[in-house]
C-alpha cells in the first residue's frame, strides 16, 4: 500500500466526500463576487464578498444552510471544476485536476489551516461584505489579486 496522500493517488472523481471537502484550502476566493462581460464572457473578480463569508476566517458563516440565504451559491463539484474558468491558480481542486501537487501552505501539507493566510493567499482582510455595496457599484471593486496570489515577483523566480 502506498504512503502517498490521497490527492496524489486518487482522481477528484474517486475521492470520498470527506476527502473532497478537505481539499478546500479555506482561502475564501470562491466566495468573492465576480462580474462577467456579456459580450466576451470574460470574468473578473471583485473584492466584494458573499454576505456569508467571514472576512477573518475566510469560512462560510452558515455553510450547512448557505443555499437558504444565498440560493445561487456555487457548490463546487467535479463537473464545475472542469467547467469553471475562474478558479484561482492556487485552487487545490484545479491543481489536483491538472495533476499538480498542493502548495506548501495548504493545510493538508502544513497541518495548519492558518498557513493559507500567513502565505497571503487568502481573502483575509481584503474584502467588503456585499451587504455594504450596491450591486451597481461592484465594478468599482474589481481586483486582480485572486488571480495572482501565489505568484512570486520576477526577481524572486529562478
Within a domain: 151: no
3 contacts: CB under 8 Å, gap ≥ 6: none
Q: Report the alpha-carbon distance of residue 135 to residue 34 in Å, rounded.
A: 11
E strand or H helix that includes residue 44: strand 43-49
**Which pLDDT band holds residue 155 (cuts at 50, 70, 90)?**
very low
The pLDDT of residue 158 is above 70:
no
Q: Is residue 45 part of a domain?
A: yes
For residues 33 and 48, the answer to whether their CB atoms sit within 8 Å is: yes
The answer as to whether 152 is a domain residue is no
Q: Is residue 154 part of a domain?
A: no
**CA 115 – CA 107 distance, rounded (Å):** 7
Number of domains composing the chain: 1
Which pTM value belongs to this model? 0.87
Percent of the chain with pLDDT over 90: 87
Instruction: Give the structural domain span for 100.
Output: 7-139
pLDDT in tens, 16-50: 999 999 999 999 999 999 999 999 989 999 999 99
CA distance 28 to 53: 7
Q: What is the pLDDT at residue 151?
A: 60
112-139 residue pLDDT tens: 999 999 999 999 999 999 999 999 999 9
Is 158 among the domain residues? Answer: no
CB–CB of 116/122 below 8 Å?
Answer: yes
Confirm whether 149 is domain-assigned.
Answer: no
Task: State whether the Cα torsion 124-133-151-3 is positive or negative.
Answer: positive
Amino acid at each position: 500500500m502506498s504512503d502517498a496522500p490521497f490527492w496524489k493517488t486518487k482522481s477528484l472523481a474517486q475521492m470520498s466526500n470527506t476527502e473532497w471537502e478537505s481539499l478546500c484550502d479555506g482561502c475564501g476566493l470562491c466566495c468573492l463576487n465576480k462580474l462577467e462581460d456579456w459580450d466576451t464572457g470574460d470574468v473578473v473578480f471583485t473584492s466584494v464578498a458573499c454576505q456569508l463569508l467571514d472576512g477573518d476566517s475566510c469560512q462560510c458563516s452558515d455553510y450547512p444552510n448557505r443555499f437558504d440565504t444565498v440560493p445561487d451559491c456555487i457548490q463546487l463539484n467535479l463537473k464545475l471544476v472542469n467547467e469553471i474558468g475562474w478558479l484561482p491558480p492556487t485552487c487545490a481542486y484545479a491543481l489536483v485536476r491538472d495533476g499538480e501537487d498542493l502548495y506548501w501552505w495548504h493545510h493538508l501539507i502544513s497541518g495548519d489551516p492558518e498557513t493559507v493566510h500567513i502565505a497571503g493567499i487568502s481573502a483575509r482582510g481584503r474584502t467588503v461584505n456585499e451587504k455594504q455595496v450596491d450591486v451597481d457599484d461592484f465594478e468599482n471593486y474589481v481586483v486582480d489579486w485572486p488571480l495572482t496570489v501565489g505568484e512570486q515577483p520576477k526577481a524572486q523566480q529562478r
